[in-house]
């Protein structure tokens, strides 16, 4: 089974040296008192909970899965419920929630590292509290005062959890096809009827109530996406005093048996005229839902980072321990029967790939969380608008790129273990299975790619790209004084120019043929991801050079940052070259084959 | 659950149009009578067995796995035993085995498509008869007359099956570390004592006896690989009359629980002073073993093709059926609620990638099997030597490249299904889990890469590369007359030159620093694989152009071949560019980091 140790040193690097969190908090209202000392205390406590309480339950959940009892209740794996109670008692659910609902009002950039630790230790477990965030954000942003009064405090405290009920068997990506019905009743509420599939944490025994956020269609609403409304449908209907009153007419019809994340319950949910509360306006459900879709997409990006980190940690331990063959450049462990396999260049290639994706991904997603802080807390409307823009641009890239590279890292982890990796007991094959869902839910990689290239970049005639490329070119300009940085900067300037001209080319091609977008989109989002990770690594190298120059007792740590940046630029970033080449060949090689002639 | 239909049309294309099997057989002794008519009859029968008998057991085996009974016997999944009996009754095991052991003496290039069909329908099941081949080849090539008389006929008939017992818990790649002991007894036999892990088909209920090929160490033998001998250790010791006599002192100690191939028993085998028979010479065990390692490696390459084909077939059916969103270039199914997802360029990219890997891989591995025919049947020593050389060069590439691309194809298959693909019942996630072992057993991708670049290419100072590059350049020269071929040929000539100069560069770099080999090796083997598949696709296009020119009723089939070749050259082959770039950066970015400073 895998083990997890929170990478507190690297987290501190990203927060202090790279993103200057203290300075960032000083610029935000009500955050001035957040300093590194406070952060260290919080992260230290969170790391203990992740390493000691939920980490050891990761394999337990994979083995046991969830069990459906005869009365339709779902029993989670041994220890899950007790761990959740500890989590609630520790006040963790409310950490980055508003004070007027009992929250601790810390910025989301503090909540994120904690979710990272929980998720890396045990992704399946972390999805139970994780899904609540979307529910809270939706109610907080679009709900009436009545809804807030009924649901926010119990969700913030963690006594209740939330879900998202979107997908139906015949529609996932294309929510316009959904059929679940909502009818208004005399008391201003709604009766919800229909079936939802793939509802994560849809039913479980961790919390006393479960608050479902459900997409449904009102009578006589427009077909397609314009006729969809959003509802809160709780498992138990709360009384006016907040007590749990009546059991609602909804139930878990079945648990899905799936490739991974066995510890989380993936439910078929049946709503049989269940009582629901409208959120926001009628027929605006899909718009309202994007609030939590964006959040969920960042959270899924975090999952990619989590699996990369877990793969890296466990691969490193194994490859330092496993003795097999001699180094080609002469024995490194002459007293032993063979050398540890970490001496072999190809094993190091795998480890450094994992490290570059995990640590670089951390830099990327923590940066995104600072934009989230600005968006939710800043009193400067211009700053908020820019942050909103940057976050909208980064979200599909983070979701797609980090889950793809997280899966690659998990697979390399299995490869480092050789045949042993294929056996359940080591836990690295579980990491591969768990990671695989990341590229599917909350919109597949293909959907993220269309969102980025079609909607955000080409939909603004390329304007959405400008703040990001300006940021990169500005970074390059500011870093030019440091001689060691020049090779990185040269590459980044070239890639940024290629990014812009490529975007123009696809834009022109798409005017003639809309399929030019879909033909390039996945290559484009991966290309974008590699560049952004390149920026993260160049910035990390710059921060490390600066600290080394200032003098530090942790020279080895900072040297390793620079060496990883060198590895990334030499061995990973060149993937952009092939992507540019394949994008240049346009849609024809994909579209000419007749649909009926793929197979004979 | 997945379904399988044998791709008989494509098999016929590869055998007739591309590789001219009839002409090939006419040049081999005792094969003159093998013609397409006979082949069609055999493949037709084999396809029924694969599609109807073992295909439906694929999901059954995944679900049930293997069960260890109290007496140490292993029970396979429902239906496996009966299917095996049908297989034996049908005479399939003996098809490409020598007539003097009761075989039907057909060339291995006829056996391979049948193994492909069996393996694609149900890889786990196919491993039970599949492992016998290595045992037969070893005994046939290195065994004494006594061994042949005892073991060959029952193995050829399929009444008994075989295994390979190589790996021990502490050594897989590095067999020089193995500890299993062999001591000679008074009757010229040996007592074998030790434990072997990861023994596929090590114990089961399909056959009356199981013949283990075991690596072990004699007393006072040299340490390392030079002190290893090879033994036949049967589950039941046969009497002189071939009857099953005494139960040998060996047993299955445990079944491994693993990521995939659940239907095949992966056993811990304990040998407690078991009776063994020496194969070949003492201390030459590792050399003798390479006979069946080569065979097993080709067989594992076939597994990659199998998973790519299964992924392609099931993805194609799903993406033509699943309605979701509209085509960006206008509705293609205006009467329906949405378009089938095959209209989307990115879905086509995934399908065409699977198709290019499956069909191109088929061309590559069938070509290798013709070299196997020449090696085993030709009476021309020069032809045999060349075939041996070509096969030695191709084997690690086929093993590594086809399992890597097979896994990629299986993953794309899951991606085509979206969230549904993650659920067990569709069977595509099983295909991913089953495919994952291919990159591990019979030597990981990293080991194949060192075999290719270190041993075969640089070990001959690049000479091993020459017949292959000459073949490609000759193909290009001969195809130049056809105008449509020129874009392919230009690319292939460029890549072949780059392959040669790259090899020289790595060779020089390795003189200064041996780690240059391991740093480039995996990129090098993938680079080689992409070029060879490029040749396969260019040759397929040429054959298609020729048939179209001659006039054919199957114009659509041949057009699709050309379109797939165009896809491959436009969207897959450019991956070589990045690989060249990463190889050019040498070993330093991998080797500078201190082993203790990967993590802090």
Tell me the two tokens of residue B428: 């595509």
d(CA B363, CA B529): 13
Give the closest residue to A473 by CA, choosing from A454, A459, A492: A492
* 3-class DSSP state of B136: helix
Spell out which residues of chain B touch residue A577, defining contact as CB-CB under 8 Å: 577-578, 581
Sign (positive or negative) of CA dihedral B529, B532, B537, B540: negative
Q: ipTM higher than 0.90? A: yes
Which residue of chain B comes nearest to A448, CA vs CA?
B346
pLDDT in tens, A270-289: 999 999 999 999 999 999 98
Asked whether the predicted pLDDT for residue B486 surpasses 90, the reply is: yes
pLDDT of residue A520: 98
Asked whether the predicted pLDDT for residue A564 surpasses 90, the reply is: yes
Which residue of chain A comes nearest to B558, CA vs CA?
A597
pLDDT of residue B241: 85
Which residue of chain A comes nearest to B354, CA vs CA?
A598
Are B260 and A352 an interchain contact pair (Cβ–Cβ within 8 Å)?
no
Tell me the two tokens of residue B579: 């690989």
Measure A379 CA to nearest chain B CA, in Å. 38
- From the list B256, B522, B567, the residue facing A590 with the nearest CB is B567
Strand partners for B443: none
pLDDT in tens, B77-99: 999 999 999 999 999 999 999 99
pLDDT of residue B57: 98
d(CA A254, CA A269): 8
Which residue of chain A comes nearest to B442, CA vs CA?
A419
Determine which one of A404, A425, A442, A555 is catalytic: A442
Ramachandran quadrant class, B77 (left: phi over 0; alpha: psi -120 to 50; beta: rest): beta
Q: How far is CA B286 from CA A75, B176, B225, B292, in A?
A: 52, 9, 7, 10
pLDDT of residue B237: 97
Altogether, the residues listed in chain A come to a count of 600
Average the pLDDT over A536-565 and give the result: 98
Average pLDDT across chain A, whole number: 96
Listing DSSP states for A70-103 in one string gives TTS-EEPPTTHHHHHHHHHHTTGGGTTS-GGGT-
Instruction: Report the 10 Å Cβ neighbour count for A219.
Output: 9
**Residues B326 and B428 sit within 8 Å (Cβ to Cβ):** no
pLDDT of residue B92: 98
d(CA B573, CA B103): 42
Average pLDDT across chain B, whole number: 96
Are B578 and A582 an interchain contact pair (Cβ–Cβ within 8 Å)?
no
User: Which positions ≥6 away from B495 have C-beta within 8 Å?
Assistant: B531, B534, B573, B576
DSSP B77: P
pLDDT of residue B242: 82
Q: How far is CA A464 from CA A8, A378, A445, A576, B507, in A?
A: 34, 21, 20, 21, 47
d(CA B382, CA B388): 10
Phi, psi of B171 (to 5 degrees): -150, 125
Are B593 and A342 an interchain contact pair (Cβ–Cβ within 8 Å)?
no
Strand partners for B217: B181, B228
Ramachandran quadrant class, A324 (left: phi over 0; alpha: psi -120 to 50; beta: rest): beta
Spell out which residues of chain A touch residue B312, defining contact as CB-CB under 8 Å: 599
Q: How far is CA A155 from CA A123, A140, A160, A161, in A?
A: 20, 11, 5, 6
- From the list A324, A517, A571, the residue facing B174 with the nearest CB is A324
Are B423 and A256 an interchain contact pair (Cβ–Cβ within 8 Å)?
yes
User: Where is B245: in which H helix or E strand?
Assistant: strand B244-247
Spell out which residues of chain A touch residue B345, defining contact as CB-CB under 8 Å: 515, 517-519, 521, 587, 590-591
Testing the interface with A: which of B167, B323, B338, B345 to mutate, by most A Cβ within 10 A? B345
**Residues B85 and B14 sit within 8 Å (Cβ to Cβ):** no
Average the pLDDT over A516-526 and give the result: 98
**Residues A25 and A35 sit within 8 Å (Cβ to Cβ):** yes
pLDDT in tens, B96-144: 999 999 999 999 999 999 999 999 999 999 999 999 999 999 999 999 9
Tell me the two tokens of residue A598: 């793929």
Spell out which residues of chain B touch residue A560, defining contact as CB-CB under 8 Å: 593-594, 597-598, 600
Spell out which residues of chain B touch residue A173, defining contact as CB-CB under 8 Å: 324-325, 418
**What percent of chain B is modeled with pLDDT above 90?**
96
Phi, psi of B266 (to 5 degrees): -105, 110
**Residues B198 and B266 sit within 8 Å (Cβ to Cβ):** yes
Asked whether the predicted pLDDT for residue A291 surpasses 80, the reply is: no
Instruction: Report the 10 Å Cβ neighbour count for B187.
Output: 7
Tell me the CA end-to-end span of chain B in Å, nearest whole number.
45
Spell out which residues of chain B touch residue A433, defining contact as CB-CB under 8 Å: 259, 433
Listing DSSP states for B161-198 in one string gives EEEEE--BTTBSS-GGG---EEEE-TTS-EEEEEEEEE
pLDDT of residue B296: 84
d(CA A499, CA A505): 10
Are A345 and B587 an interchain contact pair (Cβ–Cβ within 8 Å)?
yes
Spell out which residues of chain B touch residue A578, defining contact as CB-CB under 8 Å: 574-578
Q: Would strands A160-165 and A209-217 be described as parallel, antiparallel, or unpaired?
A: parallel
User: Which alpha helices (H) appear in B417-485, and where do they start and end?
Assistant: 428-436, 445-450, 466-479
Q: How confident is the model at residue A242 (pLDDT cuts 50, 70, 90)?
A: confident
pLDDT in tens, A450-479: 999 999 999 999 999 999 999 999 999 999
d(CA A423, CA B262): 11
**Residues A538 and A485 sit within 8 Å (Cβ to Cβ):** yes
User: Which positions ≥6 away from B302 have C-beta within 8 Å?
Assistant: B112, B115, B116, B119, B365, B402
Has A168 been annotated as catalytic?
Answer: no
User: Which positions ≥6 away from A413 have C-beta within 8 Å?
Assistant: A310, A311, A312, A314, A315, A350, A354, A421, A428, A431, A432
Q: How far is CA A541 from CA A24, A356, A489, A547, B374, in A?
A: 21, 12, 11, 10, 57
pLDDT in tens, B561-583: 999 999 999 999 999 999 999 99
Instruction: Give the number of A-B residue pairs with CB atoms closer than 8 Å.
Output: 288
pLDDT of residue A448: 97
Between A293 and B408, residue with greater pLDDT: B408
Are A585 and B571 an interchain contact pair (Cβ–Cβ within 8 Å)?
yes
Average the pLDDT over A553-580 and give the result: 98
Q: Would strands A160-165 and B190-200 be described as parallel, antiparallel, or unpaired?
A: unpaired
Tell me the two tokens of residue B392: 């030695």
pLDDT in tens, A26-55: 999 989 899 999 999 999 999 999 999 999
Are A257 and B425 an interchain contact pair (Cβ–Cβ within 8 Å)?
yes
pLDDT of residue B264: 98
Spell out which residues of chain B touch residue A515, defining contact as CB-CB under 8 Å: 327-329, 345
Strand partners for A270: A195, A251
Are B556 and A415 an interchain contact pair (Cβ–Cβ within 8 Å)?
no
Phi, psi of B277 (to 5 degrees): -120, 130
Phi, psi of B454 (to 5 degrees): -75, -55
pLDDT of residue A177: 94
pLDDT of residue A64: 98
**Residues A591 and A515 sit within 8 Å (Cβ to Cβ):** yes
d(CA B325, CA B346): 13
Testing the interface with B: which of A349, A414, A428, A583 to mutate, by most B Cβ within 10 A? A349
Instruction: Report the 10 Å Cβ neighbour count for B291.
Output: 19
Are B599 and A313 an interchain contact pair (Cβ–Cβ within 8 Å)?
yes
d(CA B438, CA A419): 10
pLDDT in tens, B5-51: 999 999 999 999 999 999 999 999 989 899 999 999 999 999 999 99
- From the list B256, B259, B560, the residue facing A593 with the nearest CB is B560
Determine which one of B442, B549, B566, B595 is catalytic: B442
- Gyration radius of chain B over CA positions: 24
User: Where is B251: in which H helix or E strand?
Assistant: strand B250-255
Q: Would strands A74-75 and A190-200 be described as parallel, antiparallel, or unpaired?
A: unpaired
Measure B137 CA to nearest chain A CA, in Å. 24
pLDDT in tens, B412-469: 999 999 999 999 999 999 999 999 999 999 999 999 999 999 999 999 999 999 999 9
* 3-class DSSP state of A184: strand
Strand partners for B214: B165, B231
pLDDT of residue B245: 81
pLDDT of residue A164: 95
Average the pLDDT over A172-184 and give the result: 95
Q: How confident is the model at residue A73 (pLDDT cuts 50, 70, 90)?
A: very high
d(CA B74, CA B256): 12
Which residue of chain A comes nearest to B343, CA vs CA?
A595
Q: How confident is the model at residue B240 (pLDDT cuts 50, 70, 90)?
A: confident
**Residues A584 and A506 sit within 8 Å (Cβ to Cβ):** no
Measure A594 CA to nearest chain B CA, in Å. 8
Are B574 and A582 an interchain contact pair (Cβ–Cβ within 8 Å)?
yes
pLDDT of residue B250: 98
Average the pLDDT over A162-166 and give the result: 96
User: Which positions ≥6 away from B487 have C-beta within 8 Å?
Assistant: B569
Are B345 and A173 an interchain contact pair (Cβ–Cβ within 8 Å)?
no
The C-alpha angle with vertex B415 and arms to B413 and B419, in degrees rounded to 5, equals: 120
Confidence (pTM) = 0.98
d(CA B535, CA B493): 10
Q: Would strands A228-234 and A266-279 be described as parallel, antiparallel, or unpaired?
A: antiparallel
Are B345 and A454 an interchain contact pair (Cβ–Cβ within 8 Å)?
no
Tell me the two tokens of residue B312: 């392609």
Asked whether the predicted pLDDT for residue A531 surpasses 90, the reply is: yes
| b/e per residue B550-562 (b: at least 16 CB within 10 A) | eeeeeeebbbbbb
Altogether, the residues listed in chain B come to a count of 600
| A68: exposed, middle or buried (Cβ count in 10 Å: 0-12, 13-18, 19+) | middle
User: Where is A560: in which H helix or E strand?
Assistant: helix A555-567
Are B423 and A257 an interchain contact pair (Cβ–Cβ within 8 Å)?
yes
pLDDT of residue B82: 98
User: Where is A230: in which H helix or E strand?
Assistant: strand A228-234
d(CA B117, CA B114): 5
**Residues B173 and B444 sit within 8 Å (Cβ to Cβ):** yes
pLDDT in tens, B188-230: 999 999 999 999 999 999 999 999 999 999 999 999 999 999 9
């Amino acid at each position: 089974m895998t083990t997890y140790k929170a990478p507190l040193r690297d987290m501190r690097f990203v927060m202090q040296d790279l993103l200057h969190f203290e300075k960032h908090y000083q610029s935000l209202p009500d955050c001035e008192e957040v300093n590194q000392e406070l952060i260290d205390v919080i992260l230290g406590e969170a790391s203990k909970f992740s390493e000691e309480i939920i980490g050891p339950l990761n394999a337990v959940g994979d083995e046991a899965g969830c069990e459906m009892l005869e009365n339709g209740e779902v029993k989670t794996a041994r220890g899950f419920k007790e761990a959740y109670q500890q989590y609630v008692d520790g006040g963790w659910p409310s950490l980055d929630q508003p004070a007027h609902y009992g929250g601790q009002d810390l910025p989301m950039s503090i909540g994120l590292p904690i979710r990272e630790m929980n998720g890396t230790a045990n992704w399946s477990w972390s999805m139970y509290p994780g899904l609540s965030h979307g529910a809270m954000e939706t109610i907080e942003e679009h709900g009436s005062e009545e809804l807030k009064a009924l649901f926010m405090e119990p969700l913030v405290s963690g006594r209740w959890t939330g879900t998202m009920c979107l997908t139906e068997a015949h529609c996932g990506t294309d929510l316009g096809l959904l059929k679940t019905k909502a009818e208004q009743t005399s008391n201003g509420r709604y009766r919800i009827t229909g079936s939802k599939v793939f509802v994560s944490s849809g039913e479980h025994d961790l919390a006393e109530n479960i608050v479902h956020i459900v997409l449904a269609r009102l009578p006589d609403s427009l077909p397609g996406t314009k006729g969809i409304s959003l509802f809160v449908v709780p498992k138990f209907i709360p009384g006016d005093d907040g007590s749990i009153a009546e059991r609602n007419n909804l139930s878990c019809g079945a648990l899905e048996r799936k490739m991974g994340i066995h510890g989380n319950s993936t439910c078929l949910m049946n709503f049989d005229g269940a009582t629901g509360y409208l959120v926001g306006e009628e027929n605006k459900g899909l718009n309202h839902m994007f609030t939590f879709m964006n959040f969920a997409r960042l959270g899924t990006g975090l999952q990619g980072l989590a699996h990369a980190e877990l793969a890296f940690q466990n691969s490193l331990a194994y490859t330092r321990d496993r003795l097999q063959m001699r180094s080609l450049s002469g024995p490194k462990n002459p007293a032993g029967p063979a050398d540890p396999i970490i001496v072999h260049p190809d094993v190091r290639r795998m480890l450094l790939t994992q490290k570059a994706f995990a640590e670089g991904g951390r830099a990327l997603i923590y940066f995104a969380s600072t934009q989230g802080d600005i968006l939710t807390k800043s009193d400067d409307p211009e700053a908020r608008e820019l942050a909103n823009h940057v976050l909208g641009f980064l979200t599909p890239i983070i979701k797609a790129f980090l889950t793809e590279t997280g899966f690659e890292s998990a697979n390399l982890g299995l490869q480092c273990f050789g045949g042993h990796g294929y056996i359940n007991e080591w836990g690295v094959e579980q990491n591969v299975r768990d990671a695989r869902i990341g590229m599917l839910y909350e919109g597949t990689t293909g959907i993220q790619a269309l969102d980025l290239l079609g909607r955000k970049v080409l939909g603004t005639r390329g304007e959405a790209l400008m703040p990001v490329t300006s940021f990169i070119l500005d970074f390059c300009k500011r870093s030019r004084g440091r001689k060691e940085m020049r090779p990185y900067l040269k590459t980044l300037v070239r890639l940024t120019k290629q990014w812009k001209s490529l975007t123009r080319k696809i834009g022109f091609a798409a005017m003639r043929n809309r399929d030019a977008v879909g033909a390039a989109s996945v290559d484009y989002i991966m290309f974008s991801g590699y560049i952004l990770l390149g920026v993260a690594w160049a910035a990390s190298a710059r921060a490390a050079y600066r600290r080394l120059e200032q003098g530090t007792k942790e020279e080895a740590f900072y040297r390793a940052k620079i060496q990883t940046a060198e590895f990334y630029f030499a061995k990973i970033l060149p993937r952009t070259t092939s992507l540019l080449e394949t994008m240049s060949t346009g849609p024809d090689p994909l579209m000419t084959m007749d649909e009926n002639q793929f197979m004979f």
